[in-house]
Structure 1
Amino acid sequence: MTENQHVERIGRKLDKMVQKNNTDGALDLLRELKTITMSLETLQSTRVGMSVNAVRKQSSDQEVQTLAKTLIKSWKKLIDGAGKSKSEKKDSSPLRKTSKDSGSSEESSTTAKCLDVVPSLVLSLPVIPLTTDHVRNKCRELLVRALQTADDYKTFGADCSLLAAQIEERSQIFEDFKSTDIKYKARLRSRISNLKDQKNPDLRRNVLSGNISTQRIASMTSEEMASEELKKIRETLTQESIREHQLSKVGGSKTDMFVCKNCRGKNCTYTQVQTRSADEPMTTFVVCNDCGKRWKFC
């Protein structure tokens, strides 16, 4: 197992603790993180800083809070160090700017690229990754708003801008259609409406915590995204429809007066309905109980 995979595994465990509102065992995981020599690349790719920060906010254990703060502080130094290093390298170049603000600007630029590592260390959120298509950019903006419907994203320390971009692009929603046509908009609209549904918070929380991947949410059907309450209602309606269908099949009066043209059997059921004027005879509908063939007898 590589270092990135090891850190990512710990991050997932911390996220699950936050989701279940139970941080028992978090201290051991934080101690394990402390023994790992963390690199800037690992911080950015695993986003473990968000997981640690979420545990720090939720845990009531003073030792967990202290260790989490220590880890975040050490990672912040790593980020700041990378910014200073790049700034010094820029200053040593023959083409460097003479303004004193150039180094500060370069350092701020480097730090801004690392905003998604430890969000609690900065005051602003990263902007939404944009494309050259206005419709796609608008969809990403709506996805961010849907993910931020409640304060769950703060609890999980989720980067809603990044998640929105992944749902729209990396999950191949856009690639499926190759254009922002009506089908593309309908599919995005379905995801947005379900994510911001106040009666279905579990879907949004599972996406924010990573339990449902961006690839998965992009391909889920409306039935799969529905809340448990709505699923139960649909299940009840389905069962009722099945019962009604069965009753319509076996209802009526059994008789051996008719011969089925399909299986030549006489085990039939018939019902009579007044489909014409009152002075006309009723229409007889016959169903073979053996093979299911239906016909009308006039």
Structure 2
Amino acid sequence: MSTNKKVAAIKASMSKKLASMDSLTDGDVESLHDMLRQLEQMDITLDILSQTLIGTVVSKFKNHSIVGTTAKALVKRWKKVAKGEGTATATAATTAPSSTVDSKCSKNGGSDNDSKPSPAAAAKLERRSSVNSATDEMQSEWASLQPYRGTTCQKLLDVFKASKASLVKDGINGDAVDHLVVERATEVESAIHAKYPNQKQDYISKARSLCFNIKKNIPLASQIILGQVDATDLVNMSSEQLASDEKRKEIEERTKKLMESKQLDWESQNESKINEMCGIKGELLQASLFTCGRCKSTKTTSTQKQTRSADEPMTVFVLCLNCGKRWKFS
């Protein structure tokens, strides 16, 4: 699909929402935001603006509380294109007359051979150009997807880009990373769609979970970019598997403590820890709730027994460990 047709399709979709401008739902706003982002990523020329008149529709959303900022930025950029300050200016700069270049060379005393790159540099530029064109082609295909799928691709791309610095630090070429992050975002999105082909809510829920967990786990993001983790396997991972090592260790410790707390003898097994946390040490370890009436010592032990009928309270028997006195009360 050509850029002209894509812009025309987006214009038609946005025009339908103009009728209910004051009663847009959250889904409508999200859809509008996705369409504006698609327009931001397109190379809109003066011919496209003239043929589609997309600016007339986008400008009507400039006062919207949520998408207004994006709409204003787009209209401002398109005005520069119409005035020849945007794409047209860039094109003119790259296609400067050869006579101008020749005159500059003659002024600097150089020749055409001096300005030509070496074969190795030319090959490097050619490879970079090929990689960039392939990357741009993949990203342009996102515009033909359903809006929520295109949004997922962009969010995954943003998440993967966050780990670029770590990969470059490890010696990975930055240009290669730029291409790989686009490729991996496309692969992961396709894997999510393959698992939930007709289940939009499940698709969105899984996409959000992946973006959140990958963003928190830079090592995992690096492994995905380098192809060490397959996209299909990634989609089938649980939240625990997606968590970082630190988070996984924290979850395991919390689970262990929960299981220990359910044990009947947990209090006796952890008595020393409890006393330490409460500041009970020294003679206080031998103290109890009962004080001996003879020697005033708190080193006592007590037991309870049901000596009367079941509806009566239990009888407490106390023994003083200091002087040996025994007494009871109920």
The answer, yes or no, to whether TM exceeds 0.5 is no
- Higher share in helix: 2
TM-score by length of 1: 0.41
| Greater gyration radius | 2
Instruction: Tell me the TM-score normalized by structure 2.
Output: 0.37
Structure with the larger RCO, 1 or 2 (CA within 8 Å, 6+ apart): 1
